[in-house]
Amino acid sequence: MTEENLKRRDVKQEKSREINKEGRRTRNINSRRKKEIAPKGSVKIIPLGGLHEIGKNITVIEYQDEIIIVDCGMTFPGDDMLGIDLVIPDVTYLIKNKEKIKGLIITHGHEDHIGAIPYVLKQINIPIYCTRLTAGLIKNKLEEHKLVRSTKMHIVKAGHSIKLGDFRVEFIQSAHSIPDSVMLAITTPLGTILHTGDFKVDYTPIDNKIIDLGRIAELGSKGVLALLADSTNAERKGFTMSEKSVGEVFDKLFLHCHKRIIIATFASNVHRVQQIVDCAFKYKRKVAVSGRSMIKMIETARELGYIKCPDNIFIDIDMISNYTDDQLVIITTGSQGEAMSALTRMASGEHRKIKITPNDRVIISANPIPGNEKYISKVIDDLMQIGAEVIYSAIEHVHVSGHACQEEQKLIFALTKPKYFVPVHGEYKHLMAHSETAKMMGVDKDNIFMMTNGRILEINETSARLTGTVPNGKILVDGLGVGDVGNIVLRDRQHLSQEGLIIVVITMDRSTGEVVSGPDVISRGFVYVRESENLMDDVKSVVRSIIRKCEEEGIQDWSTIKGTVKENLKDYIFNKTRRNPMILPIIMEV
């Protein structure tokens, strides 16, 4: 082979190698492109509480085999939940998928966001991520339930991020009626979900930690896939007033006041307590605290540095007799007129250490939660009848909300420009009002999802839709019992509370079925026996005749006898009294 032919062969081989390399390079690029455009699955947003209700806030964010939980709150029982202490969410779905859970992230330390944590941790051991004050408040709860050692608590500062599997969660400085509140920017493979938690836009917060609107706007410029936003004040127009405005009113009420000042507010409102303490220091008054939750909250906030004051300004409640009225401020619970709260006991004269006098100025620094109006009205009346001066929100601006009104909600929409919107934290009317604001701000009505607890919102790369549901509901806590009180027990309690109880006791011979003694009739909550002896005698006669009839018909099964007594006696009592008490026949055998 000539030298020229050899050169031609080498050139051909080199070209072939280049073509092969290019082919491999092209295949690799195409492979990478395929991976990049491969379906990423979908993100699921599943509220388990907080929708069509106030409180019990908990939301599940799920991507493939990974779950994170936002908040884990409780709510207080309604009037129909007799004897119930609190209500927590049903977390059956989380228990079934506990191996997928990467962590529980908390937006702030209010009960409706942290109150259910101990009950859930007893079923699922998961790490908690939250800010410093929130961690302190959660720790108090865990100590009560003996869960501190078994729970991993991670403190995260506003502005920092955590990585939980495919999720990255950024804590964004927010503003609310408790310090260390944050919004959460949850980055998923499909985009960023912004969860506002409870918030307001306060440009002059007490701790000077202004909501980070710049970071929110930055997220909006990059693209927010979905916005989940607090709807509590969605019906209210305008802006929520700054917390500092309350301090100005307090200063006016302290000035030239020679009375003892008693202020009732929410225990969790640390900023409000700070302003009360500031006024007390300015006007040379000592501060005493009444109410277990208030004492615990102030202790925790002082230990962590969230309430700043001289060490000697707080005194024990037992020491108030050592000071004149114009040297004292008492901070107390009971701003909602709760039955066993400190302020209610003061108003009824049942507080062991504080006796209300005409030389007291009582300031109720809170608005009634819907449903509590009659209770707080009763407390105000009782205080006034004693002669105390009572100041509340209808008279002075002694309270501002911790939730955003419509103009603040519009600002968040303008900054985030979300593709999808889910109103959360509120009753249906609040969610509806918030959805109307979203439309006004340009969110497509088809991209606004009015959800219910347990409903699944599934978002993929091209669309979002409501799919199925997961188990959800209310778990009732009564004393040490969790979930052992259901609808049947509540129905019985309501029946007893409205109609009372009649117990019929009959002693019968086991072998012959003859009545040995009785019937004895016991009444509770129905009629006073001594004043209704004739009715009770008639009841006994009716029972005797029912038993005789059973004997004549050869009925010896005791459950049948009890059922017959119950039904016949029920009809007789209703015809006689137009009342329907619960009737419990008891047969004792000898």
CATH code of the domain in which 230 resides: 3.60.15.10
Is there a single domain that holds both residue 61 and residue 192? yes
The confidence score (pLDDT) of residue 206 equals 93
Is residue 480 assigned to a domain? no
Burial per residue of 419-457, b for 16 or more beta-carbon CB atoms within 10 angstroms, e otherwise = bbbbbbbbbeebbebbbebbeebebeeebbbbbebbbbb
Q: Do 584 and 524 contact (CB within 8 A), yes or no?
A: no
Is there a single domain that holds both residue 169 and residue 122? yes
The confidence score (pLDDT) of residue 23 equals 52
One-letter identity of residue 304? L
Q: Is the peptide bond before 423 cis (omega within 30 degrees of 0)?
A: no
For the chain, list residues with pLDDT below 70: 1-39, 484, 513, 528-533
Is residue 481 assigned to a domain? no
CA distance 441 to 410: 7
Enclosing domain of residue 100 = 43-238+401-474
CA distance 374 to 396: 20
Is there a single domain that holds both residue 72 and residue 138? yes
Sequence-ordered alpha helix ranges (H) in 523-557: 533-552
Sign (positive or negative) of CA dihedral 437, 440, 441, 442: positive
Cα 436 to Cα 46, 235, 446, 453, distances in angstroms: 22, 10, 12, 20
CATH code of the domain in which 262 resides: 3.40.50.10710
Q: Which two tokens stand for residue 584?
A: 């419990």
Question: Helix (H, G, I), strand (E, B), or coil: what is residue 199?
Answer: coil
Return all residues near 494 (Cβ < 8 A) that are at least 6 apart.
80, 82
Is there a single domain that holds both residue 446 and residue 540? no
Q: Do 94 and 136 contact (CB within 8 A), yes or no?
A: no
Is residue 479 assigned to a domain? no
The confidence score (pLDDT) of residue 34 equals 41
The confidence score (pLDDT) of residue 15 equals 56
CATH code of the domain in which 576 resides: 3.10.20.580
Q: Which two tokens stand for residue 76?
A: 């207080």
Is there a single domain that holds both residue 457 and residue 321? no
- What is the pTM for the complete model shown? 0.83
Is residue 436 assigned to a domain? yes
Is there a single domain that holds both residue 78 and residue 131? yes
Is there a single domain that holds both residue 443 and residue 566? no
Looking at 336-454, which runs of residues are DSSP E strands?
A: 360-364, 389-391, 420-424
The confidence score (pLDDT) of residue 80 equals 74
Boundary (domain end) residue, out of 331, 363, 391 = 391
Task: Give which of 70, 187, 57 is closest to 130, Cα–Cα.
Answer: 70
Q: Which two tokens stand for residue 104?
A: 């529980």
Is there a single domain that holds both residue 369 and residue 421? no
Is residue 104 assigned to a domain? yes
Boundary (domain end) residue, out of 368, 391, 414 = 391
Is residue 23 assigned to a domain? yes
- Report the number of distinct structural domains present in the chain: 4
Boundary (domain end) residue, out of 391, 424, 446 = 391
Is residue 169 assigned to a domain? yes
Is there a single domain that holds both residue 348 and residue 420? no
Is there a single domain that holds both residue 278 and residue 144? no
Is residue 266 assigned to a domain? yes
Is there a single domain that holds both residue 272 and residue 384? yes
Question: DSSP per residue over 226-281, as a string?
Answer: EEEEE-TTTT--S-PPPTHHHHHHHHHHHTT--SEEEEE--TT-HHHHHHHHHHHH
Is there a single domain that holds both residue 172 and residue 311? no
Task: Give which of 372, 423, 418 is closest to 393, Cα–Cα.
Answer: 372
- Phi/psi for 155 (5° steps) reads -95, 125
Sequence-ordered alpha helix ranges (H) in 484-557: 487-499, 533-552
**Separation of first and last alpha carbons in the chain:** 124
Q: Do 199 and 424 contact (CB within 8 A), yes or no?
A: no
The confidence score (pLDDT) of residue 38 equals 44
